[in-house]
Structure 1
Amino acid sequence: MEYLEKKREKQRIKNIRKRKIKKFLTAFFFIIVFFLWGIYFLLQSDLLNLKKIEVQGNIILTTEEIIDTGQLFLNRNIFQYKLIDIEKNLLSHPFIKEVSLQRKLPNRIIVTVREREKYAIIPYMGSYIYIDQDKVVLQVSENYLAEDLILITGVEFQSFNLGDQVDISKEPLLDAAIELIEASKLVTIGELISEINIGQEDYIKLVTFDGIEVLIGNKTDMAYSVLALKEVLTNLYTRNIKSVIVDMRYKGQISIRNRENWEEN
């Protein structure tokens, strides 16, 4: 008898456990269904429709240009947008260097961009190619726009495409020219420079707005050369001397000669 009673008790406990598990699974099932139904309701409702697009960090491009490039449209559910696709669209614009995107529930998307800046102009077959500091082509214009930018001449192109780095035959010389521009801006003589010519093999020719020509070795320390050049130009302008060629091709040597008497070595 005692054995039978223990067996019945075990069976009763077992049944109770089964009922509890069944109730738990039933409740869990209804919670999942309710949760999924709630998500479906939110996705179909206007609550999560895009109502506001905030654009930050833009200086050159307008907010409308960035929104159009990103292919963002109001009154569309924000979860129907794939942020990676928006980023890809935005990075296809030549002037956009970096992008950061955020969804802000219930109805906002924040777009933060870092723009590329025009750094120099390269004339090419009647057109003008605007590049940034990374040698990326930002714009191609048939007209020379009056901007405070230095012309880089003597460039031999292999190819160029908007949004891509230029492909040229003398890339180290272009790198040296960009380094020269950067150094000249740091020592505040960038506004004096009109043109940088990289058509030669061994040196770069710099031309000021006053017509002074400066020859700089392409393998020299540009920061040091520009500091020395600033002092030379200051002395020349103080003495009102302009029609000269300043030869800085050789380390530690600076010679100044009248253009009329110059014979290039």
Structure 2
Amino acid sequence: MIKKENKYILKAQRKKFIKKLLIIFLFFVMAVVLFITKSNFFIVKKVAITGNPIITGDDVKKRCERIIGENIFFVKKDDLIKEAKKNPYVDEVKVSKQYPKQININIVEKEGIYYVNQGKSKFILNNKLILLEKTDDIQGRNLVEVTGIDFQESEIGNTVLEDYRIRNILEDFYNVVKNNPTGYNVSCIDIKDLTDIKVYIGDIEGRLGNDENILDKMNKILHIVSNPETGITKGYIDVSFDGSPIYYKE
């Protein structure tokens, strides 16, 4: 009988002990939650821009610093990504939290490759023909002029042309510009006539003909231009036909 009573006593004590543990745990959780939500320890003090953005860094930082003073646990990454992408030069955004007080925003920029003269303004485009900027000053920026395309007024951040043939042509030229191993840069591309495409490298005119095999044709032109034995600094190079290129020096 005594053993049975002891068994019930032990069982009751165990339940009481578990109940105390649960209460202590709940108080601990509440204390942690209060500390996280009410303490100044987790207040955002700094927004750091990473990825070495050249154009967008200051603008994105200014846009996103509105979260300074907020609790880091309540900062929504999607909101910051959306805010950063309001800058048309921003291509990719990654947001990370560096506890307890810092937000890191990594930026990958769209790159301005081309420009088109539009009245008094110059429209800066990337390789996808997305309008990045309207400006009257491109001094010091290594951009390639594109002539011979017509497009209507477009909003910054939008594609200016839906002609996929022209977009593919300029995508090919983008690969040429980015992977050009010589010190001779393309300054202008004339695509007014897609059967008579021309490029300009300084005072040298490159005649490509149609839009077939652009990469191969440009390799031939750049090889001739950069060859010291050729010595061409002004004139034209014709690669519009099969066979060996023809060039003329002025």
TM > 0.5 fold call: yes
Pick the aligned partner of 1:225 from 205, 213, 217. Answer: 217
Supply the distance in 2 between the matched residues of 1:10 and 1:216 (Cα, whole angstroms).
Answer: 104
**2:37 aligned with 1:46, yes or no?**
no
Greater CA deviation, 249-258 or 28-37?
249-258
8 Å contact 2:44–2:67 — kept in the other structure?
A: yes
Q: What is the match of residue 201 of structure 1?
A: 194
Q: What is the match of residue 160 of structure 1?
A: 154
Supply the distance in 1 between the matched residues of 2:165 and 2:33 (Cα, whole angstroms).
Answer: 57
The change in CA–CA distance for 1:193 and 1:105 in structure 2 (over 3 A counts) is: closer
Q: String of CA shifts for 1:206-255, please: whole Å, max 9, x gaps.
A: 123215242342121x33212211233346994556344x3322333534
Q: What is the match of residue 263 of structure 1?
A: none
The residue type equivalent to 1:195 in the other structure is C
The change in CA–CA distance for 1:47 and 1:234 in structure 2 (over 3 A counts) is: closer
Q: What is the match of residue 80 of structure 1?
A: 74
Give the SS at the match of 2:52: coil
The change in CA–CA distance for 1:106 and 1:239 in structure 2 (over 3 A counts) is: closer
8 Å contact 2:198–2:205 — kept in the other structure?
A: no
The change in CA–CA distance for 1:32 and 1:256 in structure 2 (over 3 A counts) is: same
Supply the distance in 2 between the matched residues of 1:240 and 1:254 (Cα, whole angstroms).
Answer: 13
Q: Which has the larger radius of gyration?
A: 1
8 Å contact 1:87–1:100 — kept in the other structure?
A: yes
**Paired-residue identity, %:** 18
- Uncovered stretches (5+) of structure 2, i.e. residues with no partner: none
Supply the distance in 2 between the matched residues of 1:18 and 1:124 (Cα, whole angstroms).
Answer: 87
8 Å contact 1:119–1:133 — kept in the other structure?
A: yes
Q: String of CA shifts for 1:25-70, please: whole Å, max 9, x gaps.
A: 2321232123213321332121111122222223313654222222
The change in CA–CA distance for 1:230 and 1:41 in structure 2 (over 3 A counts) is: closer
Q: String of CA shifts for 1:90-135, please: whole Å, max 9, x gaps.
A: 1222122222222122212222222222211122344321122343
- Uncovered stretches (5+) of structure 1, i.e. residues with no partner: 260-265
Supply the distance in 1 between the matched residues of 2:241 and 2:230 (Cα, whole angstroms).
Answer: 25
- Counting only pairs closer than 5 Å after superposition, residues 11-22 of structure 1 correspond to structure 2 as 12-22=6-16
Greater CA deviation, 48-57 or 170-179?
170-179
Give the SS at the match of 1:67: helix
The residue type equivalent to 1:214 in the other structure is R
The residue type equivalent to 1:31 in the other structure is F
- Cα RMSD over matched residues? 3.0
Q: What is the match of residue 23 of structure 2?
A: 29
Pick the aligned partner of 1:98 from 89, 92, 99. Answer: 92
The residue type equivalent to 2:103 in the other structure is I
So what's the TM-score if we normalise by structure 2?
0.83
Q: String of CA shifts for 1:1-37, please: whole Å, max 9, x gaps.
A: xxxx4xx755652453244123312321232123213
Supply the distance in 1 between the matched residues of 2:228 and 2:57 (Cα, whole angstroms).
Answer: 47
Supply the distance in 1 between the matched residues of 2:153 and 2:182 (Cα, whole angstroms).
Answer: 31
Greater CA deviation, 230-239 or 109-118?
230-239
Q: What is the match of residue 241 of structure 2?
A: 250
Supply the distance in 1 between the matched residues of 2:230 and 2:176 (Cα, whole angstroms).
Answer: 22
- Equivalent pairs, count: 249
So what's the TM-score if we normalise by structure 1?
0.78
